[in-house]
């Protein structure tokens, strides 16, 4: 299919559906944007979110166009082992619920850098905020804009990539600037439902066109249908699955402001835990709805030269009139919603971790205004970088490789800070500063100069080992007493003992521990079947 012919796939009904859905979603976001003058309203949705909205918002934030394009394209290029990044998230989410959710919510923090400051000091907070901002703008936001523009460019071949990116970012910023997190989360919840519906239709169409489940399972190389791959695999080698992906997952699900901000908005700890586990449950069908359609594309479009085009191709080739318009609109809207989510979380970092620290006397109204202005500024940076991503061979590889070289020091600082009383602010600051430098050096050696040739998933455990040694070494060399305030944001065994009575008062099905066990069991069954 050529770009010139792509518009032939859209009927008048499709155009009507696209206009109605995207316009309706924007209007819904604006309607939710009631005037908010308190910072807790704008940045944390008044701390009133319930678990269904939290879970759907987490899923929509994660399953952005970047994930849709990346997962299907990854399955096409390297096999379904790309789903290893998804099922391992459930293990990480259970860890998050067990150890971190109570501490984070009880701290009443607005951002994760603020939470980290409570354990260490302002240096650590500022460094982590800057690093997170860099990743949110130049990795997350730019990737979402680029992946959403792939479909838009097939639908509107006359428009340049720059124009599409600007329009998407502008639409996302429209209700983000006015409505804050509440508008973002509710539009995410709506979008998650449409996203699952559209993915289901595409999966059914892909398997039907490819000849059915048996035809796909027997017609594709068995290696492409295995989640557990040998150590020399170019996609996801098993040592990388065991040692590398959990590090990336811990950063993304436990420390990334984009994700944790939704949990911070919960009414209470129970709602936060239920929402996180609900998001994990929604990730189980991703294998069938978003990954395996990329496997079907091996039979349907065996000669595609760019794997990132797989999902857009499936959308335009497989769906009937009307339904095509809904899925295209949903895909484009997913880009807007994901960008809105990222802009809001990044503006929270700028406002609460930089501006408020430098000017603590600012009123709530002034902080909200600063958040809106910073959102507009972030849009400009993301729009400038997004079109450059076509220079990389694979969007998914770009995303994971950047994280593998940048986030290990963050993970080391959080884990050691949570569980080791001897971790000091000097040690954490050194681990972040020197660790970032080590990551950059290893990236230059292994990727740019190619002096070494190991998989990027091996870079993460190497770097986190170095970062942990730095933190421990500096902490032991320059010890400092642990204050009661800092100890309050550390995990301690009595936290579990103290909540047993609370959990015993309710039915077992409301107990997050049983819910977590069930989620892990379902995940294990899925991995075993596709091992």
3-state secondary structure of 368: helix
Segment 235-258, tens digit of pLDDT: 899 999 999 999 999 999 999 988
Distance from the first to the final alpha carbon of the chain: 35
Q: What is the pLDDT of residues 170-212, one digit of tens each?
A: 766 665 665 567 777 888 888 888 888 888 989 999 999 999 9
Helix ranges, 79-160 (H):
84-95, 101-106, 112-119, 122-135, 142-155
Pair 71, 400: CB distance under 8 Å? no
3 state SS for 234-287? CCCEHHHHHHCHHHHHHHHHHHCHHHHHHHHCECCHHHHHHHHHHHHHHHCCHH
- 303 pLDDT tier (thresholds 50, 70, 90): confident
pLDDT, tens only, 109-143: 988 999 999 999 999 998 998 888 888 777 777 77
Coil/strand/helix, residue 266: strand
Residue 364 has phi, psi (to 5 degrees) of -60, -40
Residue 22 — very low, low, confident or very high, per pLDDT cuts 50/70/90?
confident
Select the highest-mean-pLDDT range: 150-154, 349-353, 383-387: 349-353
31-51 confidence digits (pLDDT tens) = 766 555 566 776 777 888 999
Q: Please indicate whether residue 264 or residue 180 has the higher confidence score (pLDDT).
A: 264
Vertex 405 angle, CA 399 and 411, to 5°? 100
pLDDT average, residue stretch 355-363: 80
Distances (CA, A) of 470 to 254, 363, 438: 22, 39, 11
Lowest mean pLDDT among 69-73, 182-186, 447-451: 182-186
Residue 108 sits at φ, ψ, to 5 deg, of: 60, 30
Percent of the chain at pLDDT exceeding 70: 89
Both structure tokens of 514: 């049983």
| 213, 207 contact by CB (below 8 A) | yes
Around 468, how many Cα atoms within 13 Å sit in the side-chain half-sphere?
15
Place of tokens 């807790």: 40
Residue 5, pLDDT > 70, answer no
Nearest to 92 by CA among 227, 245, 267, 226: 245
């Amino acid at each position: 299919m050529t770009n010139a012919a792509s518009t032939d796939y859209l009927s008048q009904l499709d155009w009507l559906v696209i206009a109605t859905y995207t316009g309706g979603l924007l209007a819904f976001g604006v309607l939710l944007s009631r005037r908010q003058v308190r910072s807790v309203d704008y940045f944390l949705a008044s701390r009133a979110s319930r678990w269904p909205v939290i879970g759907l918002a987490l899923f929509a934030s994660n399953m952005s166009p970047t994930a849709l394009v990346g997962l299907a394209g990854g399955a096409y290029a390297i096999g379904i082992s790309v789903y290893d990044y998804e099922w391992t998230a459930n293990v990480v989410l259970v860890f998050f619920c067990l150890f971190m959710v109570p501490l984070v919510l009880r701290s009443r923090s607005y951002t994760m850098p603020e939470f980290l400051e409570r354990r260490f000091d302002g240096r650590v907070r500022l460094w982590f905020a800057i690093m997170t901002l860099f990743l949110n703008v130049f990795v997350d936001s730019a990737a979402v804009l680029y992946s959403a523009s792939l479909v838009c460019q097939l639908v509107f071949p006359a428009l340049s990539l720059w124009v599409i990116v600007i329009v998407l970012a502008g639409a996302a910023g429209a209700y983000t600037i006015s409505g804050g997190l509440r508008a973002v989360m509710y539009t995410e919840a709506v979008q998650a439902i449409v996203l699952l519906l559209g993915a289901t239709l595409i999966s059914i169409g892909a398997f039907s066109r490819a000849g059915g489940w048996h035809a796909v399972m027997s017609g594709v190389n068995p290696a492409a249908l295995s989640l557990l791959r040998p150590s020399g695999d170019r996609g996801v080698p098993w040592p990388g699955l065991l040692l590398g992906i959990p590090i990336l997952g811990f950063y993304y699900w436990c420390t990334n402001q984009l994700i944790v901000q939704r949990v911070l908005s919960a009414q209470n700890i129970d709602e936060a835990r239920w929402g996180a586990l609900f998001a994990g449950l929604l990730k189980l069908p991703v294998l069938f709805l978003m990954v395996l359609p990329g496997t079907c594309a091996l039979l349907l479009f065996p000669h595609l030269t760019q794997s990132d085009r797989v999902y857009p191709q499936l959308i335009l080739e497989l769906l009937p009139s009307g339904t095509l318009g809904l899925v295209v609109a949903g895909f484009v809207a997913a880009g807007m919603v994901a960008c809105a989510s990222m802009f809001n979380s990044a503006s929270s970092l700028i406002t609460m971790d930089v501006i408020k620290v430098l000017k603590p006397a600012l009123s709530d109204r002034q902080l909200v205004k600063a958040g809106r202005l910073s959102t507009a500024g972030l849009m400009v940076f993301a729009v400038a970088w997004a079109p450059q991503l076509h220079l990389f061979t694979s969007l998914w590889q770009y995303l994971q490789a950047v994280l593998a070289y940048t986030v290990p020091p963050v993970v080391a600082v959080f884990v050691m800070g949570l569980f080791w009383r001897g971790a000091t602010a000097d040690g954490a600051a050194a681990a972040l500063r020197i660790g970032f430098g080590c990551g950059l050096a290893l990236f230059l050696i292994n990727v740019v100069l190619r002096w070494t040739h190991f998989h990027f998933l091996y870079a993460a455990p190497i770097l986190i080992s170095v970062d942990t040694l730095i933190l421990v070494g500096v902490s032991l060399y320059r010890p400092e007493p642990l204050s009661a305030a800092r100890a309050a944001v550390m995990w301690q065994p009595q936290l579990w003992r103290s909540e047993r009575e609370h959990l015993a008062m309710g039915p077992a099905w409301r107990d997050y521990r049983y819910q977590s066990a069930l989620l892990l069991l379902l995940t294990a069954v899925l991995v075993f079947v596709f091992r």
